[in-house]
Structures are given as structure tokens and as C-alpha cells.
Chains A and B, each alone.
Chain A
Amino acid sequence: MNQSLPKPTLKALERQPLPADHPSANVLTAFTENALVGDEYRRTADHLSRCGKCREIVFLASSAADKPFQIEEQIAAAYAVPRRRMPRLVWGMSIAAAVLVAASALVWWRNESAPPRMQMASRTVSTPTAQPIERLGEAPPAIESKSSTELKSPTPTQSSIGPKPATALETTAELATPPASVATSQAKTARAKNVSPQGAKTPGMGASAGIRAGAIPAKAAPTPATTEPATIAISADANISTASTTPAATPHANSFAPAPSGPLAAASGAADQPLLNPQVAVRSLRAAHLWRITADGHLEHSMAQGWTRVLADQTATFRVVSVVGNQVWVGGSSGALFHSRNDGQNWAQVALTTPNGPETASIVSIQFDDAQHGTVTTDTGTRWGTIDGGATWSRQ
């Protein structure tokens, strides 16, 4: 606004006659939520243009409806992590590798020049590296991410990370041992920030450090706590759904297996999934909520701080939640399928009925391409499809 309002106009605005009756809280709410139409909207807008008190109420209520900034910031930070951290890791690993090569060369040179001191040197080198490697080897198997192909190959990873004598440092694969300490610190950083390392996704990392990409991050991403929720779904314009860690849960094209914790973990766990454009994701998250399924199969929802259990009265164990816009689908044991059209405010149970009776198998995957077209898969492999937003379902 570059121009100022003519002063007589400002005074005329101030002296507008105050209306006698104020609209009710229902009408003001409907106005705030853009639910008024036609003459009622005009009447309310006219009242608000004259009544400072009602304007204040409407603006206060409107501003209180803000989504918390923390969620947006958290997601933005989570999406930004791979870009920000990888160059540092690459440099750190390169330097560590170079130092190790130099150290091994020194050991070799001492070994050549003074045979009795060689064994001492090898012990000195191997001792500090062996300890963290063994601890890393004991990482719980629950961290295995189903959607990351690199993380699925335990054999080469174990062999490259397992304790080795320092004299065996010959190939690039074996150079993975010293950087494991680097990876350990990386894992600590990741745990502190609720983020899993992203080394497997950056091609330059393996090339520059001479390390098998994915091997170290796979081991260096432990599950922080077993009580952490199994899955988190980030509601966005794009359809993102999550499945629980139950082995029967099949990773779907749209539902990825959970990573340890945090939205990034959920988002980055899908190595074969294109990562959402961070800007798009963050923008869409302004209107987004967070959903998750706890380890014991409950659905939880968060809009600000704290998680609230949703559908707490249901006995079903939920396995997967899927969000498309403001529509939320959640499925679980015994064919339990629930649908909400308004971000989880109201729920309706959806019955999948076969000629022999209702579906009793557990739902392990829900995929919606848009609000109308979706597929539900059970643990017995049965697929159900809808083309009308869930009004009718057909077995496929």
C-alpha cells in the first residue's frame, strides 16, 4: 500500500453507524470459515465493516486457527537435511579416509622398517576402531527400512563394518571401517535431530569416499526407542500413507515402511519413491495435519502440540493410514476400514463385503491416487478398489 487514505474518508469510516444486533457466534464462525453465502454473507460483512468488536472477534478467531509454525519448520528442516548435511559428510569422510590411508601407510612403512614394532602399531590402530564397530553391529534389526534397497543387503554391510585387524585395510571396501566412526557421529547427530542419515541417496558420497554407499548409514541408523510410534503420515496434497512395522505390511507404491521416527524418517525411508519437492511439501503442510499409528496399533493425530488418540473406542489394531488432502483413511485388523472427509473430525466405518460375508483379513495398504480413486490391500493379497471416493468398493 503506497497511498494513504484521504483523512475525511478515515473519519467517515469511524463514524459509520453501529448496527444494533450483533451476529451470533455461529454466524461469525461460518463467516470465518467461508461458509456463508449470498445475502447472509453480505449482511455479515456489512456488520463487520461497521462493528469493531465483531471484527476483533473474527480476527482473533481467525488468527487462533493458525497451524503451528513448528510443524512447518520441522518438516522444512527435515526436507532440507539431505542437501545441507551431505557436503559436510562427504568432506568429513574424505578427510577421515585420507587420514586413515596415511596412517595405514605409516604403519606399513614402520612394519617394513622395524618388524618388532609393527605389532604394536597394528594394535594401536585396531583397538579404537573395533569398539564402535561392534556396537554398531549390535544395532536392533527393527531399523531395517523396507523401501531402501541398499539397506536391505546386510551381508556386504556386515562384512565391511565388522571388526577387522588394521593390517587388512587394503581395498576401498575395507576403508569403510575407519569412516564408521564418522558414521557413528553422523548417526548421533541424526538421532538428536530425529532424522535418519541419507548417505545412500547421494551418489557422490560413495564415489568420493570410496565407501559402499548405504553400508554405513544402514548400520548407523539405530532405532532410538521401541516406544516410538511406528509410523507417521504427513498429510499433504500428495498422497502419502504409512504402514506399520508389522512384517505383514507390504510396502506399497504409495505407502512406505516406517523409519525410526520423525517426519523425515518417514519421508526419506522410501528410496524408490520420488521425494516430494520440499517447497511444495512445506506449502501443502500449511494446511496439513500429522497422523501416525503407534506401535500398539492406535491411530493418533496431531495438529499442534501433543498427539491425540483418534478412534480410541475401536478395538481394531490399525496398520496403515493414508491421507489425501483432507480425507483420511485408516485400516487395520479384521478388515477395519475408517474414512474421514474432514481431517479426522468425523469418521465413518467402511464395510468391505464379499459374497461370503464381510472382509476379515487385515488391511495392510491403502493407496489413493486422488480423492476418488483408491485401492486397499489386505494381508491375504485381496485388493479392493473404489472409483467414487469410497462410496462403493469392488474386489479386484
Chain B
Amino acid sequence: MASAPLAGSLETQPSVAVREFAAQHYEASGAQQFDMDRAVLIEVLAEIVQQRNPASDKVSEQSFLASLRLEELVLARACALGNERAWEVFLTRFRATLYETAYKIAKIESEARSLADSLYAELYGIDSKGQQRTSKLLYYHGRGSLQGWLRTVIAQKYVNHYRSTKSETSLDAAVEDGAQFAACEPEVAVTDPRVDAAVDADLAELDEEERLVMAAYFLDHRTLAEIAKLQRVHESTISRKLERIVTGLRKGIRQRLMKSGMSSRQAEEVMDSVDVRDLQVKVSETLRQGMQKSTFYKEKGEPQG
């Protein structure tokens, strides 16, 4: 068991940094209690380093190795190797969390149970042909917590399942939804190429994080709280950030459009007046502004009667 080959591992030559790290942290990693000897640990670490960046220098390798969740990595690999004690520890620590996470993601108990059970099977490595076990835990690299990795894997499975079954709609449901009468999506008229150029140029000036926040808020309709949780900041920070990004974008696009020959009014219209609903609002506003004063309204100083 101790010298059992790692299923799915790469044949890599361990670097000096890996050897030093393994020698230094072998005892603290708890590998001994799962009958995993030092050579196996070195092999695991070398494989992970190799997969991340084969051409990294010693210093970056050391900092990368130091950032790994070594104890959880050892536990996961010991489970993948079929160590019973490791499985006991894993089940004690993560069984409840797994079902709880599945429920939080799927929201429906039966679906959550099915999700968690199928992941269990993959973690245990039940092969459909029943020949060789290949545990999904082999893919855990200790980059984040094992619990977080399990959450991500469940979310992945859920999204894959949801996306694969999203298009499956019964005929009755389609009829009820009026699908057979659905009109073709109207082709949005292609706007002035100057607009596209201005927008693309302005978007390119945003950094990755700003684009992520914008996509999450405007495309996915995530709440400020959700985005703030992911970014680990307060939601008011996200709100201010979005406000700043949108203001900057509007200003930048307007300036670029004006430089390309549009008037300020044209630029504003290009940015906002595409949607017909906006036009309706504007019409009503115009009507309201042009409304006559009430018959019974009297100006100050106007004589009574």
C-alpha cells in the first residue's frame, strides 16, 4: 500500500524544491497515518507542480508548494488510493457538508441527493465496467480547501446537468408557452460602426476584475451581495465600483463618438435610445412637460374671480 503507484499520476522527475518541501513537511502532512510514504508524497507534489507550470523556477515552485493545502491533499490522495482510514476521516469531515452543499445548490431535495450521490460514486471511483477504480479525488490539487473544491465540483455537475437538460421541454409545455407561435427574433439594426469601435475601445480599457463585475451584474443579474461575497468586499464597494465603471464608460464612449463626428445629442441617443420602451418614456415625459396648466390653477398675484 505504501508504495502503491498513484493512479493517474504523471511520470515526472521531482525537482529539488519538491524534494525539500516533501522532506520538510512529510510528518506534518499526516501522510504517515494513511500509510503514504515520502516517495509517494514527492510523486504527488511533482505531478501537481508539473501540471501547473512545468518551466517554473525554484522560488516560484517553493511559494506555490507553500500555498498548497498539504494535509487535505494527502487525505484526498490517500482516499484515492483506497486507504480505509482516510475514507473514515473523509466521511467524518465532509459527508454532511457534501449533502448540505448539494442542497444549497440544487434547492430541491431529491435533486440534491442525486447530485451528491453521483459525486460520491465518482469520488469513490466506481467504474462503470467495475474493473479499475479511478477516484475523482485524484484531480484535487490542494489549490484551495478540499471542502471548497467539493463545492465547485458539485456546482460544475449541477451546471452541466442543468445546461444539458435545459433545452428539453415537453411538447405540452411548449404549446402552453405558445412556442409554435413564437415570432422570429427581430434582427437588431446594426448601429453605426463608430459606436462599436468606441464601445470596444472603452471596454478594452477596463481591467479583468471590472469586466467580471460588469458581466456578473449586467449579464447574469447577480446581486451586489453575491458579487461582494465573491470579491470579499462590502456590497457598497461593489456598488461604487459599478457606478464608477458605468460613469467612465458613458463618458468615454461619448467622447469617442464626438471625436468621430457625432454631436453630443446623437451620442446620447446612440447609447440610450435603441430600446423602444425608452422612446415611450420620453414621449410621455414630453407630453407631461407640454401639458397646459390646470384651469383652476391661479398664479400668485393673479386677481381672483
Contact = CB atoms under 8 A, between A and B. Distances in A.
A62 B104 CA distance: 11
Interface in A81-134: none
Interface string B139-168: 111111111110111111011000100000
Contacts of A309: 92
A314 interface: no
Contact of A345 (B145, B216, B219, B229): B145
A333 to B, nearest CB: 21
Interface in A322-359: 342, 345-346, 348
Given A58-B230, A62-B226, A52 B219 contact: yes
B172 to A, nearest CB: 28
A12 B272 CA distance: 14
Q: What band does the interface of chain B fall in when counting residues whose beta carbon is under 8 Å from A?
A: 35 or more
A6 B250 contact: yes
B243 A46 contact: no
A5 B159 contact: no
B159 A60 contact: yes
B48 to A, nearest CB: 9
Contact of B143 (A30, A59, A66): A30
A24 to B, nearest CB: 7
Interface residues of A, number: 59
Residue from A6, A11, A55, A62 whose CB has the most chain B CB atoms within 10 Å: A6
B200 interface: yes
Contacts of A59: 216, 220, 222, 226, 230
Interface in A1-42: 1-14, 16, 24-30, 32-35, 42
Residue from A42, A48, A62, A310 whose CB has the most chain B CB atoms within 10 Å: A62
B154 A64 contact: yes
A133 to B, nearest CB: 45
A11 to B, nearest CB: 8
B104 A33 contact: no
Contact of B155 (A14, A27, A60, A66): A60
B149 A26 contact: yes
A5 B271 CA distance: 9
B93 A304 contact: no
A393 B140 CA distance: 35
Interface string A41-72: 01101101110110111111111111000000
B304 interface: no
Contacts of B242: 1
Residue from A5, A8, A28 whose CB has the most chain B CB atoms within 10 Å: A8
B72 A35 contact: no
B104 to A, nearest CB: 4
Contacts of B151: 29, 32, 61, 64-65
A308 interface: yes
B144 A5 contact: no
Nearest to A1: B242
B152 A4 contact: no
Contacts of B274: 7-8
B7 to A, nearest CB: 18
Given A5-B214, A13-B214, A66 B149 contact: no
Given A5-B214, A8-B195, A61 B72 contact: no
Contacts of A5: 214, 218, 246, 249
Contacts of A345: 71-72, 93, 145-147
Contact of A63 (B28, B143, B214, B226): B226
A63 B144 contact: no
B155 A1 contact: no
B152 A57 contact: yes
A303 interface: yes
Interface string B248-280: 011001000000000000000011101100000
Interface string A379-396: 000000000000000000
A9 B209 CA distance: 16
A9 B253 contact: yes
B220 A33 contact: no
B32 interface: no
B156 A25 contact: yes
Contacts of B202: 9
A16 B208 CA distance: 13
A304 B143 contact: no
A2 B243 contact: yes
B101 interface: yes
B215 to A, nearest CB: 5
B144 A35 contact: yes
A312 interface: yes
A304 B153 contact: no
Contact of A61 (B140, B155, B214, B232): B155
B75 to A, nearest CB: 9
B83 to A, nearest CB: 14
Nearest to A346: B71
A8 B262 CA distance: 16
Contacts of A227: none
B148 A65 contact: yes
Interface of B: 28, 30, 67, 71-72, 92-93, 96-97, 100-101, 104-105, 139-149, 151-156, 158-159, 163, 188, 191, 195-196, 199-200, 202-203, 207-209, 211-212, 214-220, 222, 224, 226, 229-230, 232, 239, 242-243, 246-247, 249-250, 253, 270-272, 274-275
Q: Which 10 A-B pairs have the closest CB atoms?
A: A29-B144, A49-B211, A45-B208, A60-B155, A6-B271, A46-B208, A26-B143, A30-B143, A64-B104, A49-B212
Given A63-B226, A64-B104, A65-B148, 15 more contacts: A7-B274, A25-B153, A26-B140, A26-B144, A29-B151, A32-B148, A32-B230, A35-B67, A46-B208, A64-B155, A66-B104, A305-B96, A305-B100, A306-B96, A342-B145
Interface of A: 1-14, 16, 24-30, 32-35, 42-43, 45-46, 48-50, 52-53, 55-66, 303-306, 308-310, 312, 342, 345-346, 348
18 contacts: A5-B249, A8-B195, A8-B253, A8-B274, A11-B188, A11-B199, A25-B149, A33-B145, A33-B148, A46-B212, A61-B154, A64-B101, A64-B154, A66-B229, A304-B97, A308-B92, A346-B30, A346-B71
